C-alpha cells in the first residue's frame, strides 16, 4: 500500500476510517502490523506445541510411524524445541512487562540478570529461526512427507521469522540495560 487510504467500514454505512501500514490500534501506540505479527506468532507456536503430542498420540493409536530420515527427525525435534523456547520467551517478556508496570523495583539493577537471561533466550530464538527454516526446506524437499506437514512446517518457519522481526523491531536484544 502506498500511503494512507480511506476504507469504508461497511458498504451501506457512511462511517470510514483511516488505514495505512503505520496505523495504530485505538488507545495504544502499537502499530497494527506488530499486533497482527505478535498474534500470528502466538497462534502458530501454540498450535504447533498443541498438535505435536496430539499427533504422536494419534499415530500411536492408529499404528502409524513417521517415515523420516535421522536428519529430518533431528531437524523436526530441534524445531519443536525452538518453538518451546519461543513460547517461554514470549511468556517471560509478557510477565516482565505486566509486573514491571505495577512494581517499579523490577526496573532496578536487581532484575538485570533475569533480563540478560531473557536476552540470551532471544539470541537462541534468532538462531533458532535458521533451524526452523532448515526444517521447512527439508520437509518440502521430501516427496514422501505427509502433505499437511509441509504447510505446518512453513507456518512454524514464518512464525519464527515473525518473532525474529518482532525481537529486532522492539529492540529486545539491547547490549545496554539502561532503561
The pLDDT tens digits for 70-125 are 888 899 899 999 999 999 998 998 888 888 878 877 777 888 888 889 889 999 99
The DSSP secondary structure of 104-173, one letter per residue, reads GGGGSGGGHHHHHHHHHHHHHHHHHHHHHHHHHHHHHH-TTS-TTHHHHHHHHHHHHHHHHHHHHHTTTT
Mean pLDDT of the chain: 78
β 5-8/16-19 pair status: antiparallel
Q: What is the pLDDT of residue 82?
A: 92
**What are the residue ranges spanned by the domains of the chain?**
25-169
CA dist., res. 105 & res. 64, Å (int): 53
pLDDT band at 27 (very low <50, low <70, confident <90, very high): very low
Give the predicted TM-score (pTM) of the model.
Answer: 0.72
CA dist., res. 77 & res. 71, Å (int): 10
Residues with Cβ within 8 Å of 176's Cβ and at least 6 positions away in sequence, in order, are none
Backbone angles phi, psi at 63, to 5 degrees: 70, 25
Tell me which of 3 and 166 has the higher pLDDT.
166
Return the ∠ at Cα 52 (arms to 46 and 56), rounded to 5°: 155
Q: Mutual orientation of helices 70-102 and 112-141 as an angle, nearest 10°?
A: 150
Least confident of 19-23, 53-57, 134-138, 152-156: 19-23
- Partnered with residue 7 across adjacent β-strands are 17
pLDDT band at 29 (very low <50, low <70, confident <90, very high): low
Cell 526444517: give the residue.
135
Amino acid at each position: 500500500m502506498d500511503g494512507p487510504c480511506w476504507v469504508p467500514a461497511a458498504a451501506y454505512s457512511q462511517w470510514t476510517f483511516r488505514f495505512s501500514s503505520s496505523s495504530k490500534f485505538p488507545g495504544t501506540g502499537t502499530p497494527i502490523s506488530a499486533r497482527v505479527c505478535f498474534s500470528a506468532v502466538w497462534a502458530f507456536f501454540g498450535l504447533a506445541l498443541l498438535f505435536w503430542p496430539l499427533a504422536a498420540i494419534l499415530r500411536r493409536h492408529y499404528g502409524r510411524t513417521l517415515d523420516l530420515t535421522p536428519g529430518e527427525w533431528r531437524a523436526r525435534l530441534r524445531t519443536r524445541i525452538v518453538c518451546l523456547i519461543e513460547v517461554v520467551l514470549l511468556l517471560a517478556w509478557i510477565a516482565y512487562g505486566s509486573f514491571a508496570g505495577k512494581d517499579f523495583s523490577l526496573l532496578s539493577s536487581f532484575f538485570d540478570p533475569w533480563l540478560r537471561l531473557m536476552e540470551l533466550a532471544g539470541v537462541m530464538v534468532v538462531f533458532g529461526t535458521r533451524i526452523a527454516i532448515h526444517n521447512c526446506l527439508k520437509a518440502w524437499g521430501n516427496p514422501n512427507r505427509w502433505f499437511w506437514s509441509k504447510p505446518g512446517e512453513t507456518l512454524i518457519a514464518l512464525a519464527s521469522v515473525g518473532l525474529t522481526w518482532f525481537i529486532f523491531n522492539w529492540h529486545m536484544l539491547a547490549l545496554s540495560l539502561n532503561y
